[in-house]
Amino acid sequence: MDYFKKLLELLTIEKDDDRTSYIKLTENTSAADRRAQGLAWYPIAIRGNEPGRGDYINIEVERTTHQDLSHQFRFGVPAALFSNHDPKNNRIEGIITHQSGNRLKITLYTDELPDWSRDGKLGIDLLFDNNSYDEMLKALKQAQALAEKPKEGHLVNVLTGKTAPVFSELPLPIQASKLNPSQITAVEKIVAAQDLAIVHGPPGTGKTTTLVQAIMELIKQTGKQILVVAPSNTAVDLLSEKLADEGLNVLRIGNPARISEKLMSLTLDSKMALHKDNKLIRELKKQASAYKDMAHKYKRSFGKAERDQRKALFNEAHRIMKDVGVTEQYIIDDLVNKAQVITATLIGANHYTIRQLQFDTVVIDEAGQALEPACWVPILKAQKVILAGDHCQLPPTIKSAEAARKGLNITLLEKCVALYPEAVVLLNEQYRMNEAIMDFSSTTFYDGKLKAHNSVAHRLLFENDMPVTFVDTAGCGFEEQQAGTSVANHEEASLLLKHLTRLVTSLDRSEKFPTIAIISPYKEQIRILNEQLNDHPELQAHANKISVNTVDSFQGQERDAVYISLVRSNSEGEIGFLADIRRMNVAMTRARKKLVVIGDSSTLTRLPFYADFVTYAESLNAYQSAWEFADD
């Protein structure tokens, strides 16, 4: 089928480009360089080890210095333990099974730690993640084969546009006092769907609340287990927590990003530790370790009798670990069977614990940010799929410009929304923004269909404040500066902080200080804003309430006030990736009570989106010129 042939080609391009850039970053680089890039922990100390599944060993390590450096280590990615005495030869590969703070657990593909692991200078390297690509490629090939079989491939053919989705009649309308009319319609659509339903959830419209209620309704009506997945651990965590709050038995496969006690209690590790048969596993592991320790006491130069004795001890340790494996599998099966909802990331849906399972319903949240090949991993387990997300917000992250250009950037959500408008329910009431902040986004992205709930429609930072402001730097000579691959604008940064200082000093001291986000699409501008922030004591006094970061880091978050620095100011009208207006939709809709956008209209308005925004600000009498702040 051409549909999957094309996807396989695009994913192969993405994989090859990703691997090439990984090799470029890592080959012939020192441990310190890899550490700076977030691809290594060095130095580390081994804090514990125990026998693992099969003939593997589990170790726990801690990074002992440079703990403030950000890194890319996470559950399920391949990594290697290495010795910097001889990094080429002294290394063992494995897979990360847990990561929290400055500690991580890794299963190493060996049954005992090598001698060099006792000589210090140890580190952990992140390896190229072939596993995720292999899972996606395998899923696409399976879907391609299924598409040829009318019965088994029914869902595949719906999702690829060959067969229209079917909806049954609801015997009774859904009763849900917590939900508004559009949310109830979405729940009804999900319950009535035989194969596909789509929930389009613009910012602040309660998509998570709607999904939770729909999942509860499905379980109430069918009693069947549901798989809930999302591209990011953070999105999986949010749903896991909300579902557990409703009293459902939730099993979280994988490693939560947010390490709260509540979330940890939902994980497989935590539930296994509390299982009544876990005591037996602990005792067996202790015995296996004892036999291995005895075997290690035999020195290298020994005769046949000692060699036989050593072999017998190792064999006994392996036999015991086989018993551990059997008991562990029994506990896992027991926990999986009892769960009403299983939650995981898209690739985590093929975790060994649930690899063979099939589900009546699979829910894919944040589908607007999900790479399509990754979606096929959980879809192959489903009779029916619920796609939830917003294709007018951030798209998936794609490493290869060529793959993106050829169509890998188009999500399954976008394709299905275009194919089947009858399967889509738009959640149209939002609970986040003042209506003046909402209206521009609503008109531009959602056909003007959004409305603000009464509780938020008119709320302001203080009485008579302007909820939206555009500060125009045109004609001020605030030229952008190139900084490597990024762009910055020093004068615009200082104007923003001046404007914010004026706002902060005008606030009523008796009121609770608002939460504030300062957002820019450019990393270099973020660095400059953070640097300049140190010179503003009035703002420093409230540093815990002010966050400065890129658009992507604020996805899914909200603040009382949002300042956006657009940076670009040049005579050519070059705006780079400011042309990605979905990113701007995310930035603008983080604000609850006040939105301030700062930029150069003469550069920006060559794109209709920004021209429309300036016109919108003028219609609200919310346009200011940067000249008004020249004397401050």
DSSP 148-217: TSTTTTHHHHHHTTSS---BPPPSS----TTS-HHHHHHHHHHHHBSSEEEEE--TTS-HHHHHHHHHHH
Instruction: Identify the CA nearest to 437 among candidates 261, 620, 581, 272.
Output: 620
Q: What is the CATH number of domain 38-128?
A: 2.40.30.270
In sequence order, which residues have a C-beta less than 8 Å from that of residue 69 and are 6 or more positions away?
35, 36, 38
Structure tokens at 94: 């494995």
pTM: 0.91
CA-closest candidate to residue 246, choices 270, 207, 217, 274:
217
Q: What is the mean pLDDT of each run of 10 residues along the chain (632 residues)?
A: 92 96 87 91 91 82 91 89 88 90 92 86 93 96 93 94 93 82 96 97 96 96 96 93 96 84 89 86 80 70 72 80 83 94 96 94 97 98 97 94 96 98 97 98 98 96 94 93 92 95 86 93 94 91 92 89 97 91 96 97 95 97 89 62
Dihedral, CA atoms, 468, 472, 478, 480, nearest 10 degrees?
60
**pLDDT value at position 14?**
97
Question: What would the CATH number be for the domain defined by 132-249+342-427?
Answer: 3.40.50.300
Contact 15, 409 (CB under 8 A): no
Q: Which amino acid is at 58?
A: N
CB 427 within 8 A of CB 201: yes
Q: For residues 530 and 327, give the distance between their C-alpha atoms in angstroms, rounded to a whole number.
A: 53
- Establish how many alpha carbons lie within 13 A of residue 457's alpha carbon, considering only the half-sphere containing its beta carbon: 6
Residue 74 confidence (pLDDT): 86
CA distance 81 to 530: 36
Q: What is the pLDDT of residue 554?
A: 85
What b-and-e string marks burial along 114-130, b requiring 16 or more CB atoms within 10 Å of the CB? eebbeeebbbbbbbbbe
Radius of gyration of the chain (CA): 27
Q: How far is it, in rounded angstroms, from Cα 206 to Cα 614?
A: 29
- Which secondary-structure segment (H or E) carries 478? none
**How far apart are alpha carbons 241 and 257 in whole angstroms?**
12
Give the helix, strand, coil percentages of the chain, each rounded to 5.
45, 20, 35
> CA 599: distance to chain centroid?
30
Supply the pLDDT for residue 353: 92
- According to CATH, the topology of domain 432-629 is Rossmann fold (3.40.50)
